[in-house]
Every structure is written in C-alpha cells, then in structure tokens.
Amino acid sequence: MVVCSCNAIRERDVREAARSGAGCPIQAYASLGRRPRCGQCLPFARELIAEERAAAA
C-alpha cells in the first residue's frame, strides 16, 4: 500500500525506516532520500511509526 503518493513511499518502507530508528515521518522519509511535500500522508505515517516503535519496545 502506498502511504505517500507524492513520493511513492510504501507502508513497508515507512515501517522499515521506523525499525531502523526513524522517530517521525520526516526522519523516515529522509532515510529514503525523500521529504514530505503536501503533508497529507503525515498523520498515517506517524501512526505506522508509532506502531512499529511500540512493537519494538
């Protein structure tokens, strides 16, 4: 599933970035060499990152 259509970032990419230490969507996107544009995806990306971090804790 695509999380960020501006950057074609998939849910799997965001989850992997979170598991690799990204604590917020900006860090996750930066680790993929991208950055937020319209910002519409940020709430969902934040949720995914929170889920991954909770699962890892």
Rounded to 5 degrees, what angle do the CA atoms 42, 45, 49 make?
Answer: 135
**Min separation Cβ 31 and ligand FES, Å:** 15
Q: Does 32 bind ligand FES (CB under 6 A)?
A: no
Contacting residue, 8, 19, 20, 40, with ligand FES by CB under 6 A: 40
Indicate the SS3 state at residue 6: coil
Contacting residue, 12, 19, 38, 47, with ligand FES by CB under 6 A: 38
Determine the Cα–Cα distance for residues 8 and 2; give it in Å rounded to an integer.
6
Q: What is the DSSP letter of 55?
A: H
Q: Does 8 bind ligand FES (CB under 6 A)?
A: no
